[in-house]
Structure 1
Amino acid sequence: MAPIPLLILNPLDPERVARIAAGGFAPQLAVGPAARAAAIAALPQTRAVLTNGATGFTAAEMAALPRLEIICAIGVGHENIDVAAARARGITVTHGPGTNAASVADHAMALLLGLLRGIPQADAAVKRGEWMGARGPRPSVSGKRLGILGLGEIGLLIAQRAEAGFAMPIAYHNRRPREGCAYPWMASAAELAAWADVLMIAAPGGAATRHLVDAAALEALGPAGFLVNIGRGSVVDQPALIQALREGRIAGAALDVVDGEPVVPAEMLDLPNLIITPHIAGRSPEAVLATATLVVANLRAHFAGQPVLTPVA
């Protein structure tokens, strides 16, 4: 049987493209707005689309593909896919929970350690020849209170690492308390921030979480508090964060995600108390290939007439 064409809208490394091709699908890459629009117009017979949460897929784009059957989000996020429009059309939507959770949790801890201990700043100072200037005291990590905003699979892995490795007390905020969870639940992001020494964002994007960490939450975190975000940039009110960092109303922040990425606001680039990594938390070699393997498994199940493995709930 000939490979089934798969329209891919987000950047993919050659290894993942090869794994998808080996799974029986013909990758057709259309990355960027112009290529995307052209491909959708030129390929109306498309039955399968691969995207991610940031890139998304709109109702209008679905309408332009009358034979579309399945949309796969590579990775856990699906916030910019119009799931309601897909359901109305009977289009299956899948995502990739768990494929990169351990890698994201590892990176979260790396950001936390680097932020509190000032590792990037110390490295830069030493390389400028400022050995003594880089030896100022920095906060310890052990025993600090860690507030996790979004205690899903990734949040739990972060909590395990922080509690077992650094004796950090844990509390969390979800929309509702997690059943069977022994960690204290806080009723709001601001309440969690007021309790925490470090506020860790592991929440998904989308309308329900947009600007959940606002100026009030940052004020509650306070001038000795730190923010780490490995969730989605939209969860944080970015102008409020920039102002809080510039005015020293929080001690520092470490971000793997930025609202509007890959564009980083110019106001962020000269903040000495801010660390940014380019959305790489889930990009370990093991996790990268696992995301592609799950996409292939979902596609093969769908086209074999079987239930997909990880539908969007």
Structure 2
Amino acid sequence: MARERLSVVVTRRLPEPVETRLSELFDVRLRDDDTPMSRAELAAALKDADVLVPTVTDEIDAGLLGQAGDRLKLIANYGAGVDHIDVATARQRGILVSNTPGVLTDDTADMAMALIMAVVRRIPEGLAVMQKGDWQGWSPTALLGGRLAGRRLGILGMGSIGQAVAKRAAAFGMQVHYHNRRRLRPEIEQRFEATYWESLDQMVARMDVLSINCPSTPSTFHLMNARRLKLMKPDAVIVNTSRGEVIDEHALTRMLRSSEIAGAGLDVYEHGTNINPRLRELENVVLLPHMGSATLEGRLEMGEKVLLNIKTFEDGHRPPDQVVPSML
């Protein structure tokens, strides 16, 4: 007798090959339009499904988990970050949580370097001149940016993505510095010719470019607060491809407006899509709509990990990418 297929609910539209494979393997309910589920829709999904496949746009908090049905046994997150899921409460209720680590390292590092280059070389400003039809020809003093080679890059969070950023930055001739919860092994430091700073304050005060690559945790919330942002040099720039809440966005906006910081490149925001309108008005800021993971290859690999986590769980084994509270 055939085993009953797992009931799987997917909260957002996923790449077509991923949705097709999910449909082949499981009793899956897919999303028709590419909009986030409402809280009521999420609650209904948690009541009915064996497995929920959410994304970063779904806030799975203790209140929602309290409404979960007895069937729900796995939350197979489509994405590496799980700060939108109350992992501790899920564990208490006997619900496993998995994610998709490692597949977006190169994509996110590429975007960090793209933002560094865009801000330092003032690429969006040049693009705006061309799109408006205002270009009057080459000028020796127009849109002068800076040279990347020789600049000090401070990486906040030297995990896999931070190291991938360091590799790229070193190829551009930048001097790599970093702050991390734990110092890296000497051979890794030597690979990037990286300088470790135990004091984040001391590193921030000396860098030309600061790249945020740490995860979102209670200890990293507003890690770059107003006091620490004020330590940055007036000609320094900051880029963030990690999580928006690591930076105090209000303080950053105020300092960019007053030229206390030279520029910023942001792919993530403290309040999601509710971006400070004053931040959007600034010419020395490059804003992107959370595109760090937006490669077809990366999104397909994320889907493959979700499928593997669900299939392994279905077979009675621990999902290979299970997340537990002690990891956070």
Please, what TM-score do these two structures have when normalized by structure 1?
0.92
| Percent identity between the two aligned chains | 31
Instruction: State the partner residue of 1:303.
Output: 314
Q: Displacement of 1:139 after TM fit?
A: 0.6
Instruction: State the partner residue of 2:172.
Output: 166
Preserved contact between residue 52 and residue 77 of structure 1 (Cα < 8 Å) = no
**1:252-267 alignment runs, 5 A limit:** 252-267=263-278
**1:22-171 alignment runs, 5 A limit:** 22-29=24-31, 31-32=35-36, 34=38, 36-41=39-44, 44-65=47-68, 66-128=70-132, 129-132=134-137, 135-163=142-170, 165-171=171-177
CA distance in 1, matches of 2:43, 2:15: 22
Instruction: State the partner residue of 1:20.
Output: 22
Q: Could you tell me which of 8, 11, 14 is aligned with 1:9?
A: 11
> Is residue 287 of structure 1 aligned with residue 289 of structure 2?
no
Q: Secondary structure at the match of 1:286?
A: helix
Q: Displacement of 1:77 after TM fit?
A: 0.4
CA pair 241-39 structure 1, distance change in 2 beyond 3 A: closer
CA pair 108-39 structure 1, distance change in 2 beyond 3 A: closer
Over aligned residue pairs, what C-alpha RMSD do you find? 2.1
Q: Displacement of 1:216 after TM fit?
A: 2.0
CA distance in 2, matches of 1:91, 1:135: 58
Q: Displacement of 1:210 after TM fit?
A: 0.7
Segments of 5+ residues of structure 2 without an aligned counterpart are: none
Preserved contact between residue 8 and residue 49 of structure 1 (Cα < 8 Å) = yes
Please, what TM-score do these two structures have when normalized by structure 2?
0.88
Q: Secondary structure at the match of 1:44?
A: helix
Preserved contact between residue 12 and residue 30 of structure 2 (Cα < 8 Å) = no
Amino acid at match of 1:69: K
CA pair 56-189 structure 1, distance change in 2 beyond 3 A: farther
CA pair 43-310 structure 1, distance change in 2 beyond 3 A: closer
CA pair 268-92 structure 1, distance change in 2 beyond 3 A: same
CA distance in 2, matches of 1:42, 1:237: 34
- Write the deviation string for residues 133-166 of structure 1: whole angstroms up to 9, x where unpaired: 7823211111211111111111111111111x21
CA distance in 2, matches of 1:75, 1:179: 28
- Write the deviation string for residues 247-302 of structure 1: whole angstroms up to 9, x where unpaired: 00010000011111122221112111100110011111100100011000000000
CA pair 78-4 structure 1, distance change in 2 beyond 3 A: same
CA distance in 1, matches of 2:240, 2:136: 30
> Is residue 244 of structure 1 aligned with residue 246 of structure 2?
no
- Write the deviation string for residues 112-153 of structure 1: whole angstroms up to 9, x where unpaired: 111100011011112322345782321111121111111111
CA distance in 2, matches of 1:270, 1:143: 30
CA distance in 2, matches of 1:231, 1:146: 16
Preserved contact between residue 16 and residue 289 of structure 1 (Cα < 8 Å) = yes
Preserved contact between residue 6 and residue 314 of structure 2 (Cα < 8 Å) = no
CA distance in 2, matches of 1:40, 1:107: 34
Amino acid at match of 2:58: T
Preserved contact between residue 78 and residue 100 of structure 2 (Cα < 8 Å) = yes
CA distance in 2, matches of 1:43, 1:136: 53
CA distance in 2, matches of 1:22, 1:268: 45
CA pair 159-43 structure 1, distance change in 2 beyond 3 A: closer
Worse overlay, 66-75 or 234-243: 66-75
Instruction: State the partner residue of 1:232.
Output: 243
CA distance in 2, matches of 1:42, 1:119: 44
Q: Displacement of 1:170 after TM fit?
A: 1.1
Preserved contact between residue 56 and residue 78 of structure 1 (Cα < 8 Å) = no
**1:159-198 alignment runs, 5 A limit:** 159-163=166-170, 165-180=171-186, 181-182=188-189, 183-198=194-209
CA pair 268-81 structure 1, distance change in 2 beyond 3 A: same
Q: Secondary structure at the match of 1:195?
A: coil
Worse overlay, 255-264 or 46-55: 46-55
Question: Across the two proteins, how many residue pairs are aligned to each other?
Answer: 311
Worse overlay, 147-156 or 24-33: 24-33
Q: Which consecutive segments of 4 or more residues in structure 1 shift more than 6 A?
A: none
Q: Secondary structure at the match of 1:77?
A: coil
